[in-house]
């Protein structure tokens, strides 16, 4: 069983002894419910800070500067005390993908890929929005005959992956993509609606879209599904996290009886905020199925339903969707 949490996620894997092992991580890959606040994340994207907290955004920038300086101090302490590990990124980088145990969570996700999705050592994996390699690191000891390609819009994340992972495992490659995104890459030159994955057609056995669909608008979802279908080999699988809505869930959303609020209906989807529409988006399941079918993908199994739609309690798990290429 696997569940992804809004603001955190937990992964439960059945181990040989029959026990369920659960790992929890506070994250939403491209979401803003990661350790820092939205204002801090917006400020962290800039290298320039005003000297006066009286200017617009000054207080937020100063908070972000202190936040980043604190993480750098902890990174230094890790090095001095010998707590830094070669394949674990510094805290200041891990903070962008959550507060949980980097190694344990990554291992749990890849165990799910192996046990439930049939990932083999000879397979080729594409990780869209790879961050600082949380999925990549545990796969380095498994994809001995296959390969891995991850891409992300955050340059320093890709730089770290090149230095720490590709240098030791040449079959693991990483690519920076200059997609415009309000928080992480506001000056980007590409858009998610017409971006092409940096990969050849039918080159991969599995595509991971973890924490992406909940931040993509309909035309962007259509493109990412189309690109996933393009790069997958026949029989290949795409697994993604999302907030999925059917008629019953839509009623609960309208009544405010879900852990995460989507108060603005747009027909095919619901948004959390009109001011920041990509902050969190829930999609109707039938719409996702229609998009997938249009691009030659089918629902491989019933979605793993999270708890976000059945309770107002937090943290709450997201839904997991598995699509297969015909």
**pLDDT of the residue at 104:** 84
**pLDDT of the residue at 317:** 84
Q: What class does CATH assign to 101-325? A: alpha beta
**pLDDT of the residue at 303:** 95
Domain ranges of the chain: 38-93, 101-325
- Rounded-to-integer distance, Cα 66 and Cα 40, Å: 10
Q: Are 147 and 200 in contact (CB under 8 A)?
A: no
Q: Is the dihedral of CA 244, 247, 252, 254 positive or negative?
A: positive
- Rounded-to-integer distance, Cα 269 and Cα 225, Å: 16
**pLDDT of the residue at 73:** 52
pTM of the model: 0.77
Tokens of 183: 């928080």
Average pLDDT of adjacent 10-residue blocks, the chain of 326 residues: 45 40 38 39 40 40 47 46 62 58 85 96 98 95 98 94 96 97 86 98 98 94 99 98 94 91 93 91 97 98 93 84 97
Q: Are 4 and 317 in contact (CB under 8 A)?
A: yes
Q: Are 215 and 278 in contact (CB under 8 A)?
A: yes
The β-bridge partners of 300 are: none
For residue 224, give the nearest of 235, 245, 240 by alpha carbon: 240
Q: Are 238 and 326 in contact (CB under 8 A)?
A: no
- Rounded-to-integer distance, Cα 324 and Cα 159, Å: 32
Q: What's the count of helices (H) and strands (E) in the chain, helices before strands?
A: 9, 13
């Amino acid at each position: 069983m696997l569940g992804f949490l809004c603001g955190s996620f937990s992964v439960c894997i059945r181990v040989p002894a029959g026990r369920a092992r659960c790992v929890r991580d506070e994250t939403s890959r491209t979401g803003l419910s990661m350790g820092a606040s939205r204002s801090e994340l917006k400020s962290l994207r800039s290298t320039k800070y005003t000297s006066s907290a009286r200017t617009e955004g000054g207080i937020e920038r100063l908070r972000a500067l202190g936040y980043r300086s604190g993480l750098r101090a902890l990174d230094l302490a890790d090095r001095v005390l010998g707590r830094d590990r070669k394949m674990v990124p510094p805290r200041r980088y891990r903070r962008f993908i959550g507060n949980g145990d980097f190694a344990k969570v990554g291992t749990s996700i890849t165990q799910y890929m192996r046990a439930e999705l049939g990932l083999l050592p000879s397979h080729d994996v594409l990780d869209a929005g790879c961050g600082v390699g949380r999925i990549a690191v545990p796969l380095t000891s498994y994809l001995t005959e296959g390969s891995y390609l991850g891409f992300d819009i955050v340059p320093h994340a890709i730089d770290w992956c090149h230095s720490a992972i590709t240098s030791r495992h040449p079959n693991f490659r990483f690519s920076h993509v200059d997609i415009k995104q309000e928080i992480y890459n506001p000056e980007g030159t590409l858009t998610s609606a017409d971006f092409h994955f940096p990969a050849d057609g039918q080159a991969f056995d599995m595509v991971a879209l973890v924490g992406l669909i909940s931040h993509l608008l309909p035309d962007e979802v259509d493109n990412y599904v189309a690109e996933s279908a393009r790069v997958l080999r026949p029989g290949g699988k795409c697994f993604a996290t999302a907030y999925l809505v059917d008629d019953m869930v839509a009623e609960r959303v309208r009544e405010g009886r879900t852990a995460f609020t989507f108060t603005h209906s747009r027909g095919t989807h619901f948004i959390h905020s009109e001011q920041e529409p990509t902050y969190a988006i829930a999609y109707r399941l039938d719409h996702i199925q229609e998009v997938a079918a249009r691009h030659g993908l089918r629902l491989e199994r019933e979605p793993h339903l999270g708890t976000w739609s059945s309770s107002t309690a937090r943290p709450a798990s997201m839904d997991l969707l598995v699509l297969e290429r015909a």
